[in-house]
Amino acid sequence: MRKPIIAGNWKMFKTRDEALFFILKVFPLVPEIDKVDTVICAQAPLLHCLVKRQGDNLRIGAQNLYSEDEGAFTGEVSGKLLNSYKVEYVIIGHSERRTYFHETDAIVNAKLKAALRNNLKPIVCVGEHLEEREQGLTNQVLSRQIEGCFKDIEASSVLGVTIAYEPIWAIGTGKTATKETAEEACAYIRSLIKDAYGERVSEKVRIQYGGSVKPQNIKELMSMPNIDGALIGGASLDADAFVMMANAAIND
Query: Would you give the end-to-end CA distance of the chain in angstroms?
Result: 12
Coil/strand/helix, residue 6: strand
- Choose the stretch contacting ligand 13P; rule: CB under 6 A; options: 79-87, 114-122, 146-154, 206-214: 206-214
Nearer Cβ to ligand 13P, position 83 or 212? 212
122 forms part of the interface with ligand 13P (CB under 6 A) = no
> How far apart, in whole angstroms, are the C-alpha atoms of residue 109 and residue 86?
23
- Can 132 be counted among the known catalytic residues? no
Between the CA atoms of 40, 199, 182 and 168, what dihedral angle is there, to the nearest 10 degrees?
60
CA–CA distance, 242 with 13 (Å, rounded to integer):
15
Number of residues that bind ligand 13P (CB under 6 A): 14
What is the DSSP track for 36-84? Answer: -EEEEE--GGGHHHHHHT-TTTEEEEES--BSSSSSS-TT--BHHHHHH
127 binding ligand 13P? (CB under 6 A): no
**Shortest Cβ 26–ligand 13P spacing (Å):** 17
* Active-site annotation holder among 88, 94, 132, 183: 94
| Least spacing, CB of residue 233 vs ligand 13P, in Å | 2
Please identify which residue in 47, 110, 115, 232 interacts with ligand 13P, judged by CB under 6 A. Answer: 232
Check if 147 is active-site. no
- Site map for ligand 13P, 90-109, x if CB under 6 A? ----x---------------
Q: Is 163 in the site for ligand 13P (CB under 6 A)?
A: no
**214-216-219 Cα angle (round to 5):** 90
Q: Which runs of consecutive H residues, i.e. helices, occur in 67-224?
A: 79-84, 95-100, 105-117, 130-134, 138-149, 155-158, 179-197, 199-204, 218-222
Which of 96, 103, 166, 183 is labelled catalytic? 166
Which region among 66-74, 137-145, 188-196, 210-218 touches ligand 13P (by CB under 6 A)?
A: 210-218
Determine which residue in the list 210, 221, 226, 229 makes contact with ligand 13P, applying CB under 6 A. 210
The Cα–Cα gap between 127 and 139 comes to: 9
Minimum CB distance to ligand 13P, residue 182 (Å): 12
**Sites of contact with ligand 13P (CB under 6 A):** 9, 94, 166, 171-172, 210-213, 231-235
Q: Mind telling me the catalytic residues?
A: 94, 166
